[in-house]
């Protein structure tokens, strides 16, 4: 049994009042808060070890390089990759997806090929594909959603034919909370010879993730949604596929030899890391992995489920609330609409009571259209939140209903 | 229920009433000016239809849309106030309204704004200025379309 009260104290930002009320931070799906050890790692790096990586022969550069590569190794282990060389550092999930688009798809897909996405993708897993599809005459297909916010897997089976060369799918939907059957999706993709990309922005650091058991070819994720800093993310790729990909950005750090006539490039992952990387971000992210491992990812998952279940149990007490997404097998977030208040008005009201919710389309406009709502309010939980905070949210929503009703 | 005064100012009863029961709601048919406005970041949308009489004054105005209470109430209150106004009167009313919701300067003719002054509470919520201005930007656009 973890001492969640003590763990919460490691997040100093939570101990403040907003608009005269204790802060209740329920916007964790947008970005998580950072524990003291992560901030200490950033502080230590800049105070003691700051230098550029991979280039210097001096002591500080060696320390910075060790810490940066150590973070890569921690991340590889954290998601079950075979080797640290399968982890490419990026700015975040969005850039990781764009790396697959420009580094792999742009070189391997031809006119008439199809990419299979789903209707619940974040805009970051739709728009890059649309941009590529326009220039390459690719066909984009979308797996429709059932009314409970899960994927229509019968439709998936129909849409997955020989023309499909890549299946790209979100692991946990940021607007519905749905946990998708990614193992099945990747297996079926593999059976027809298509590659698979999983958007793990909401899953890594929240539920146990192992890229080997998922069976994906690419896995994109971000540091800041799992207690790490912003501006750092990674792409896992299978070694043979990464090796087959040409560079996507040129610059220092990614070359082995440059002449005026041409250049030779390093092996992955360095081939895809042009320029000075986000060294501090990677080191801070590594510290976040240590921190989450110390609590235990299973314990984190259980705690977040407990909070989510409590919210799903209590929300129906608010008249006029409509919950979107499945009632089981759900990530730690709940999207809902209130009949008498637009999400922005509801979020404004909540803010006046110190409650941070998110309101709007959550970068998933097709999902909002599918469920015929202009947007939703979303409460997303982390292991450092409490059952009492959820009770306080229910009181605030009941008051909002009186106010707007 | 104790609420901050700023929030009560933002959501005054008149404003909530307009958002629940919007006036001049609908769509004009036939020969008229039209513009669509939206706030991509929040998804609010409004369409404004305007008919001008022979003297160039606004003889009819209707709107439709969906969005937060502020954007819809502002649109509803705008249509009531703008009817009968000339193009230049509409422009100065728009500028005065912009000033009171942003807090950027004083209205040149506060009396003319009338009930619209209730939306002054938006000043304290800078992120909501774009909600309050949505229908007004669409109106400006519609009138500009007619000049083109």
Q: What is the pLDDT of residues A73-91, one digit of tens each?
A: 999 999 999 999 999 999 9
A314 pLDDT above the threshold of 90: yes
Structure tokens at A274: 């042009």
**What's the gap in Å between the CA of B43 and the closest CA on chain A?**
7
Chain B residues in contact with A341 by the CB 8 A cut-off are: 69
Cα-only R_g, chain A: 22
Q: What mean pLDDT is predicted for residues A5-21?
A: 97
How much is the pLDDT for A46? 98
pLDDT tens sequence across A344-358: 999 999 999 999 999
User: Cβ of A342 and B69 within 8 Å?
Assistant: yes
Catalytic, A186? Answer: no
**If pLDDT is split at 50, 70 and 90, which confidence band does A235 have?**
very high
B1 pLDDT above the threshold of 80: no
Q: For A54-58, A196-200, A225-229, which range has the lowest pLDDT when averaged over its residues?
A: A54-58
Residue A217 has a CB neighbour count (10 Å cut-off) of: 24
Predicted-complex ipTM score: 0.91
Out of A48, A169, A216, A363, pick the active-site residue: A363
How much is the pLDDT for B148? 52
pLDDT tens sequence across B42-91: 788 999 999 999 998 999 999 999 999 999 999 999 999 999 999 999 99
Long-range contacts of A321-328 (CB under 8 A, 24+ apart): A321/A397, A322/A373, A324/A149, A324/A175, A324/A176, A324/A371, A324/A373, A324/A376, A325/A148, A325/A149, A325/A173, A325/A175, A325/A176, A325/A177, A325/A178, A326/A148, A326/A149, A326/A150, A326/A176, A326/A177, A326/A178, A327/A148
- In order of A5, A28, A166, A294, A304, the CA distances from A1 in angstroms are 12, 23, 42, 13, 14
Torsion sign (Cα): B11, B12, B13, B19: negative
Closest CB to A352: pick one of B3, B42, B128.
B3
Q: Which three-class secondary structure state does DSSP give residue A387?
A: helix
pLDDT tens sequence across A24-38: 999 999 999 999 999
Structure tokens at B66: 């969906």
How much is the pLDDT for A55? 78
User: Cβ of A345 and B11 within 8 Å?
Assistant: yes
Chain A residues in contact with B65 by the CB 8 A cut-off are: none
Cβ-based burial of A380 (10 A; exposed 0-12, middle 13-18, buried ≥19): buried
Give the global pTM.
0.94
């Amino acid at each position: 049994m973890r001492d969640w009260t003590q763990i919460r104290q490691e997040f100093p930002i939570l101990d403040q009042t907003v608009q005269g009320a204790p802060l209740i931070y329920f916007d964790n799906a947008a970005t998580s808060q950072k524990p003291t050890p992560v901030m200490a790692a950033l502080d230590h790096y800049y105070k003691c070890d700051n230098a550029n990586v991979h280039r210097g022969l001096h002591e500080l550069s060696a320390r910075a390089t060790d810490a940066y590569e150590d973070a890569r190794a921690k991340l590889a282990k954290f998601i079950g990759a075979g080797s640290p060389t399968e982890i490419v550092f990026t700015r975040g999930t969005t850039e990781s997806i764009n790396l697959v688009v420009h580094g792999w798809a742009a070189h391997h897909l031809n006119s008439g090929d199809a990419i299979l996405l789903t209707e619940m993708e974040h805009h970051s897993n739709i728009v890059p594909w649309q941009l590529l599809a326009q220039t390459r005459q690719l066909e984009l297909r979308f797996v429709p959603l059932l009314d409970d916010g899960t994927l229509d897997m019968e439709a998936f089976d129909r849409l997955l034919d020989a023309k499909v060369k890549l299946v790209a799918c979100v692991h946990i939907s940021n607007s519905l909370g749905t946990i998708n059957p990614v193992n099945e999706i990747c297996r079926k993709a593999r059976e027809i010879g298509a590659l698979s990309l999983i958007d793990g922005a909401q899953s890594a650091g929240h539920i146990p993730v192992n890229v080997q058991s998922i069976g994906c070819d690419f896995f994109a994720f971000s540091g800041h949604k799992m207690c790490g800093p912003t501006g750092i993310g990674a792409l896992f790729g299978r070694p043979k596929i990464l090796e087959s990909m040409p560079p996507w950005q040129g610059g220092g750090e990614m070359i082995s030899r440059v002449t005026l006539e041409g250049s030779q490039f390093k092996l992955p992952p360095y081939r895809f890391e042009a320029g000075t990387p986000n060294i501090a971000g990677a080191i801070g992210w590594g510290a976040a992995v240590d921190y989450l491992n110390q609590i235990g990812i299973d314990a984190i998952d259980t705690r977040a489920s407990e909070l989510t279940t409590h919210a799903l149990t209590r929300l129906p007490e608010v008249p006029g609330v409509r919950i979107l997404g499945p009632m089981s097998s759900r990530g730690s977030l709940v999207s809902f609409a209130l009949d008498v208040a637009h999400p922005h008005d509801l979020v404004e009201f909540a803010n006046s009571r110190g409650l941070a919710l998110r309101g709007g389309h959550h970068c998933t406009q097709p999902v909002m259209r599918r469920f015929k709502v202009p947007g939703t309010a979303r409460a997303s939980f982390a292991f450092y939140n409490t059952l009492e905070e959820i009770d306080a949210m229910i009181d605030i929503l009941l008051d909002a209903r009186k106010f707007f009703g | 229920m104790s609420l901050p005064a700023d929030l009560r100012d933002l959501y005054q009863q008149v404003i909530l009433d307009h958002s629940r029961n919007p006036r001049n709601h609908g769509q004009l048919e036939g020969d008229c000016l039209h513009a669509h406005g939206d706030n991509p970041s929040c998804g609010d949308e409004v369409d404004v239809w305007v008919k001008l009489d022979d003297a160039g004054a606004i003889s009819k105005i209707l709107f439709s849309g969906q969005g937060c209470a502020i954007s819809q109430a502002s649109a509803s209150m705008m249509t009531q106030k703008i009817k009968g106004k000339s193009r230049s009167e509409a422009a100065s009313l728009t500028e005065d309204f912009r000033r009171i919701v942003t807090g950027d300067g004083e209205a040149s003719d506060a009396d003319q704004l009338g009930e619209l002054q209730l939306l002054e509470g938006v000043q304290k919520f800078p992120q909501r200025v774009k909600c309050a201005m949505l229908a007004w930007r669409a109106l400006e656009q519609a009138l500009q379309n007619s000049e083109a």
